[in-house]
Amino acid sequence: MTTQNTRLENLPINGLTHDGRGVGQFKGKTIFVTHAVPDDIVTANITKHHDNFDEADCLEIKTPSPERVTPFCPVYAECGGCQLQHLSLNAQRHWKNQNFITQLTQSVDAQQCQTSEPLTGDDTHYRRRTRLSLIISKKDKVARLGFKQKASNEVVDITDCPVLTQGLNQAIQASKPALLEQASRAYKEVTLVEADNGIFNTFQTSIEHNSEKKSDQVLPYYTLNIQSKPLKITFPADGFIQINQALNEQMITQALNWLELQPNHKVLDLFCGVGNFTLPIAQHVKTTVGIEGEQPLVETATHNAQHNALDSVQFHKGDLFQDMTPKPWFKKQKYDRILLDPGRQGAFNLSKVLGKLKAHIIVYVSCNAATLIRDIKELEKQGYRLTQAGMIDMFPHTTHTEVMVQLTRTHKALKKPKSRPTFKM
């Protein structure tokens, strides 16, 4: 391997970053290479120098990796929706899982941790919710409906997306002419969601596909088929929903198993939304309490509990980024189990005080491993240890992932070790 100015010839790639860049080494320094994958040999051009690493673009693939594949989407090269279609599905999952487990176990006490096999499902037509961009391009004055380009505000026109459900694709095709007529130079978003009772959208143009005309009062719903009695979950059309139905059900099932529920338990579900975890939990235990920051979601969750005849569930509004310790559901309370599923920002302040609730097991679901690890460190200070961890491939062909951990109370606060133990997979 040689270097001339900032050009590296025959650079072997031996890893993958969390954001999908290949990892190489040159003279002891780590090089992050865009568009490269593990086991490629590439020519790279360094674009940014840093003290401990450099960033580079891939100029040429000298020897392609056995795991390099041809992307199945015709606009993959331009569209910013997917980042990993050029890497085999098995390799994607391997590196997502390995990066998560390595990052986790190098950062927290993992001596008691067992890793589970990644939860996986179909890699196409899995996404039941999408957000499209609608705009008239400033460059060529053409109206487009689609996804933003990679590293650009320009929009790639979409008629059929292979990761969206067939129902969403058909709805886009049917509604696209009317939507394009409403395009302007002002950026607009069109959110579509496929529910059990049809296609719903948050734009003023009606989208009707394989469903009767829906009044403003009708809310979308999905069905959870993970118990002997299915659950009907209503949600706002413009609100959050786990976009991968099959993986959502697998994730809930794993969470129920890791909570190790008993009929007499009292369980707290934090960041509960409309009850995606709360209601399945309530089918197993004596009392369930769900806390959510938005009042409309609290009302929807309460409706869902009533509709599913789950009378032992209580939902309360609470800003979980503020001090919750004076609240009646927290002050002088004890829970057997806690589940939390925050957004990317995590639950830092809340994690500092969860030990006061004396739950034996906490299950934490996260879409951001960095904030999860930060919060685990706070729980370690209160006597919790990492006992299970696993990756959920909720978003195939993207760099995003969902993860889940189980923490068990040991009654002993963690003393800072001289060095972290190496975790064996």
Q: Which are the catalytic amino acids?
A: 367
Would you give the distance in Å from CA 146 to the centre of its chain? 21
Instruction: Report residue 148: phi and psi, to 5°.
Output: -65, 145
CA distance 367 to 393: 11
Residues with Cβ < 8 Å from 28, sequence gap 6 or more?
Answer: none
C-alpha R_g of the chain:
24
CA distance 307 to 302: 9
SS3 content of the chain, % helix, strand, coil (to 5): 20, 30, 50
Instruction: Work out whether strand 155-157 and strand 313-317 pair parallel, antiparallel, or are unpaired.
Output: unpaired
Would you give the distance in Å from CA 264 to the centre of its chain? 32
Type of residue found at 204: Q
State both tokens at 168.
């969403």
CA distance 299 to 288: 16
CA distance 86 to 72: 9
Bridge partner list, 403 = 366, 391
CA distance 273 to 320: 12
CA distance 372 to 18: 15
Place of tokens 């996986």: 120
CA distance 274 to 298: 7
Residues with Cβ < 8 Å from 166, sequence gap 6 or more?
Answer: 125
Residues with Cβ < 8 Å from 99, sequence gap 6 or more?
Answer: 16, 17, 18
CA distance 274 to 236: 9
